[in-house]
Chains A and B, each alone.
Chain A
Amino acid sequence: KAGVTQTPRYLIKTRGQQVTLSCSPISGHRSVSWYQQTPGQGLQFLFEYFSETQRNKGNFPGRFSGRQFSNSRSEMNVSTLELGDSALYLCASSLGTGGAGRETQYFGPGTRLLVL
């Protein structure tokens, strides 16, 4: 089975721009969660999508949004980028039957975003 894929792997943007990251889950997985990893804060939960609906959301501002398509692929968008948004953005997929935090999640390699 192919693993979780994320595109692009690296991205450089400037302050004020917006960015869209993409995640393709493992075939058959219906839940996709997004995490932000920074040296100072570690891994932080952004949100989870299941069956095209946002099922849970972490403590991030509204500039961070996402969506999920009928094939379970997900995108996350960050608008009005700030320097502090520079991070590794990780996507994780799971079956979705138990909820994002209750079942094994499989992570993609991440998208490294640098905001200048």
Chain B
Amino acid sequence: DQQVKQNSPSLSVQEGRISILNCDYTNSMFDYFLWYKKYPAEGPTFLISISSIKDKNEDGRFTVFLNKSAKHLSLHIVPSQPGDSAVYFCAASASGGGADGLTFGKGTHLIIQP
């Protein structure tokens, strides 16, 4: 049973426009969420995170929104740039001993069109 779902395997966005990547989760114990970006032949790179006590976190062009009641989070990239073309993973963890691993979604391949 997939606890973190990214329902769009791919997304194509024009350069300069907003990219919105979505993620849904089912485990109500999740209280910390992260987004990672992955280029081919490289490991994932941390982008941004959000704790469940917040509903928004911003870092430059990247903003993550969390809707706890809907168990939904989204990553907004504004404006989108060619270098943003990559696979984006949503990940979540639950507190409880402070030693839980991350549960990842299957990723969304973002393609920025020139």
Binding site for B on A (CB under 8 A): 4, 33, 35, 41-45, 47-48, 50, 55-56, 58, 90, 92, 98-102, 104-110
Contacts and interface: CB of A to CB of B under 8 A. Distances in A.
Interface size class of B (residues with CB under 8 A): 20 to 34
B99 A56 contact: yes
B95 interface: yes
Contact of B101 (A41, A58, A98, A110): A58
Interface of B: 32, 34, 36, 41-46, 49, 89, 91-95, 97-107
Nearest to A3: B43
Contacts of A106: 46
A110 B43 contact: yes
Nearest to A110: B43
A55 B99 contact: yes
Nearest to B47: A104
B101 A56 contact: yes
24 contacts: A4-B43, A35-B102, A42-B106, A43-B89, A43-B91, A43-B104, A45-B103, A50-B99, A56-B97, A58-B101, A98-B98, A99-B99, A99-B100, A100-B100, A100-B101, A100-B102, A101-B32, A101-B94, A101-B103, A102-B32, A104-B34, A105-B102, A106-B46, A107-B36
A107 B101 contact: no
B32 A92 contact: no
B43 A101 contact: no
A109 B103 contact: no
Nearest to A40: B106
Given A92-B43, A107-B45, A109-B43, A99 B102 contact: no
A108 B98 contact: no
B46 A104 contact: yes
